[in-house]
Structure 1
Amino acid sequence: MENAKRLVILGGGESGVGTAILGKKKGYEVFVSDFGKIKDNYKEVLALNKLEWEEERHTEEKILNADVVMKSPGIPDKSPIVKLLIEKGIPVISEIEFAYAFIDVPTIGITGSNGKTTTTMLTHHLIRQGGLNMGLAGNIGKSFAWQVAEGKHEGYVLEISSFQLDGIEKYRPHIAVLTNISPDHLDRYEYNYELYIDSKFRITMNQAEDDFFIYDADDVMIAKWIDNNKMRATPIPFSLTKTLKKGIYIKDNTIISTITNEEFTMPINELSLEGKHNVKNAMAATAVAQLMKIRKETIRESLSNFQGVEHRLEKVLKIQNVQYINDSKATNTNATFFALESMTAPTIWIVGGVDKGNDYDELMPLVREKVKAIVCLGIDNEKIINAFGNVIDVMVETTSMAEAVKTAQKLAEKGDVVLLSPACASFDLFENYEDRGKQFKAAVQNL
């Protein structure tokens, strides 16, 4: 790969443009091809860097002569152009793999079905507060490749999706984190859960004995995989239920870490983030910070002042004593499970979007206990109605965010919560989950 000269990039978004900039800097002949439209700000960057690009098509003769292809994570392997590339034996890799070849600083790779954005941002916060100049990239913020091209950091904290992991060959994080595994994106994995699980564990496949693998020891699927597969990295488990000899666990409502010679403790009630899932996110981030030799006082202080992530259980406004919460980032049922679990008041639940093979059964006990009305927001709500129609008396279908929020306001009484936690992808009515969350916040502010 290092000797390859023609670099073709599929997708002209953040990761594509960042890879193009790094590719040009490293002497590649670069071509960017996007089957959709490229945003104006990215076109300006491409023009400024004198990079060749096309949009709304894939010109085969300009793509199939590549030495290496970087595919943006949103493009499925079954798309016709990717199939052609694979047939021709042309390497198709992810931005993570491409950029990794040009660094000699450590990376922290964080993946999981849920919690990876919060864990990534919290980890980055802890390390930055500890005085290390780490970049924040991957599935979040400015492109990893773009930051590598600028070369300003002494390491990187990367949020990595399963799609990005599918495109790695040599990528080796010094510290890997797997927050949890639950069925997600099964439409991209032939509806085969095992394929998705294997994809997540690619994060540790190139690790060696002097690397670390941090994982949730309470997660049944993770435990099963570890029992049945060999792993070279040093394992660092965390758990809410078990006492661990070397790991992070809970005793007397206090987080206790025994992963280094010095024991670390932090009372749960001093964490800035609420909810059991966030205790786990804090444990994972703490493990990384300790391995990076951040001082205990700094870790404690940073865990207590972290501000949280936009679109993840974000309190928007309280109107007439009704709290509106934006959890647009909940794009699967497992994420929505965490959201409903942390609700302490009767909840009007806004749900729906593009179903990715959801099984709503796991939500049933929480819905019975906490939800008083459901507002469906999606083009096809049949599955949601079938799942909860016999459990919830009030179910209303809506076709826009403004309508959904107004409907929720009518259904809510003093002391209730209106929760947007869609459990689905957003691409039927919105550009992405950020757009969905921003529209929710705007609609709430317009009430």
Structure 2
Amino acid sequence: MKKLTILGGGESGVGAAILGKQKGYDVFVSDRGEISKKYKEVLLNNEIDFEEKNHTEAKILNADVVVKSPGIPDTVPLILKLKENGIKVISEIEFAAKYTNATIIGITGSNGKTTTTLLTHYILKNAGLNVGVAGNIGDSFAQQVAEQKYGNYVLELSSFQLDGIEDFNSHIAILTNITPDHLDRYEYDFNKYIASKFRITKNQTANDFLIYDADDEAINNWLKENKTQAKLVPFSLEKELEYGAYIKENNIIININKDTIHMPTSALSLKGKHNTKNAMAATMAAQLLKVRKQTIRESLEDFEGAEHRLENVAKVKGVAYVNDSKATNINATFYALECMDTATVWIVGGVDKGNDYNDLLPLVREKVKAIVCLGLDNEKIKNTFKNVVDIIVETAGAEEAVKVSHKLAERGETVLLSPACASFDLFENYEDRGRQFKKAVRSL
């Protein structure tokens, strides 16, 4: 019996354990931290051996194959030791893909991947396709492969998940954009991070497709210097394309098969330039899967968007409150500020992954009337913006940040939570931060 060891007892780890057991492996789950009650119950119900608050090295090094959580860096001693011993270390995505013949639409990028994933899934579901959504969102891919019979999957893939693939392939890959993010995991080398994103196309063949942002410098440079077998399907807001998607006179024009689609950008339910790009990418994926134009149009008109991504929470005394907690890097916050069409009180801060706030200066100068800091260390934010914004206040939690913003904002203005940082100093994760923000707004 082959031994499967899983490092990390979260969503992806427990999903891989369920699939591994179903496929006849001897499964062992090991988590250095505590495994949450929800996942512990699943492991116990499935009679899967596990340990928590510890990694028993002898037991782990006994494995034939190791599936590791995307959160564990490749550089930790245990992973290095496994590789020295010739034990294969893969991601849950790689493990699960071996057991499904479904058509996979894989979506990666620094920003926009959740929205593009949800939108693509929404269009395909409306078209009547048998389709699951997984990867970085929803139930784990492995668990769905074990328990569902989907003919198609839309997968949101992080660079960490892609780092752990060998044979995994997406029939349709989407690369939304590449901007510096998570550089702490890539030795602060942007090129290593770019290479990691492009692993999405490493196993593609001439029968597969790579949909990408043709306005993105990092993507274009990689494509100039490297080869992919896939058919390239570009989208652009800046230039007209003979093949792909572009904008002309406020219309999206998509020309990838005999059937050209025209759609006014004003009809899109999601606003902002970045969302126009997300819509182009999702539409082309749907078209490649032969979805009718009418279904695509209707889906783009009534799609609601992702929670914690430019989510309108409420209007209180004429002030709009917007939750963009999912903005954990500069580029995501850039998009959010770009979408603001009123004076804005901006709530920002948290754990900074090497941010350069200077890129935001022009937008902040134009749109932000006050900054409310939400993090333990706000020096960098204060130093960058002190000459541009008169009011900068420090707060110690979501409730206080909302109360202060409420005092600063006037009728017709917007309070925007778009932190540009990770959330781990004051919150469990960006969802927790977003929920606390929404709760505080609703109790004003």
What residue in structure 2 maps to residue 6 of structure 1?
3
1:275 aligned to 2:272? yes
Q: How far has the Cα of 1:391 moved from its partner? A: 1.4
2:347 alignment partner, SS class: strand
Which of 44, 48, 51 is the aligned partner of 1:47? 44
Aligned to 1:115: 112
Output aligned runs, 1:5-404, within 5 Å.
5-404=2-401
* Structure 1 range deviating more: 403-412 or 323-332: 403-412
Structure 1 residue 399: Cα displacement: 1.2
Deviation at 1:388, TM superposition (A): 1.1
TM-score by length of 1: 0.98
Match of 1:415 among 401, 412, 415: 412
Q: Deviations over 1:163-196 (max 9, x none)?
A: 0000001011000000000000001111110000
Residues of 2 paired with 1:411 and 1:84: CA distance?
54
Counterpart of 1:358, as a letter, is N
Give percent identity, aligned residues only.
66
**1: CA distance, partners of 2:432 / 2:80:** 31
Instruction: Measure how far apart 1:386 and its partner are.
Output: 1.5
Amino acid at match of 1:140: I
- Deviations along 1:139-185, whole A, 9 cap, x unmatched? 00000000000132011000000000000010110000000000000
In the alignment, structure 1 residue 443 sits paired with structure 2 residue 440: yes
Instruction: Please report the TM-score for the alignment, with normalisation by the length of structure 2.
Output: 0.99
SS of 2:200's equivalent in the other structure is: helix
Q: Secondary structure at the match of 1:427?
A: coil
Q: CA deviation at 1:203?
A: 0.2
Residues paired across the two proteins, number: 444
Superposition RMSD in Å:
0.8
Counterpart residue type for residue 321 of structure 2: Y
Tell me the amino acid that sits aligned with residue 14 of structure 1. E
Give the deviation of 1:428 after TM superposition: 0.9
Offset of residue 300 of structure 1: 0.3
SS in 2 for 1:208: coil
Q: Give, in angstroms, the shift of residue 430 of structure 1.
A: 0.8
Per-residue CA shift, 1:235-288, capped at 9, x if unaligned? Answer: 000001111111011111111111011111111111100111100000000000
Residue 107 of structure 1 and its aligned partner are, at CA, apart by: 0.3
In structure 2, runs of 5+ residues without a counterpart are: none
Shift of 1:76: 1.4
Secondary structure of 1:350's counterpart equals strand
How far is the alpha carbon of 1:78 from its aligned partner?
A: 2.2
Separation of aligned partners in 2, 1:214 and 1:176: 6
Q: Look up the SS of the partner of 1:429 in the other structure.
A: coil
Whole-Å Cα distance in 2 between the matches of residues 360 and 178 of structure 1? Answer: 24
CA deviations on 1:306-333 (whole Å, 9 max, x unpaired) are: 0111000000010010000000000000
Instruction: Give, in whole Å, the separation in 2 of the partners of 1:196 and 1:348.
Output: 33
- Whole-angstrom CA distance in 1 between matches of 2:392 and 2:140: 41
Unaligned runs of 5+ in 1: none
Cα distance in 2, alignment partners of residues 68 and 283 from structure 1: 39
* More displaced stretch, 232-241 vs 379-388: 379-388
Quote how far apart the aligned CAs of 1:409 are.
Answer: 0.7
Post-superposition shift, 1:33? 0.6
Runs of 4+ in structure 1 off by over 6 angstroms are: none
Secondary structure of 1:425's match?
Answer: coil
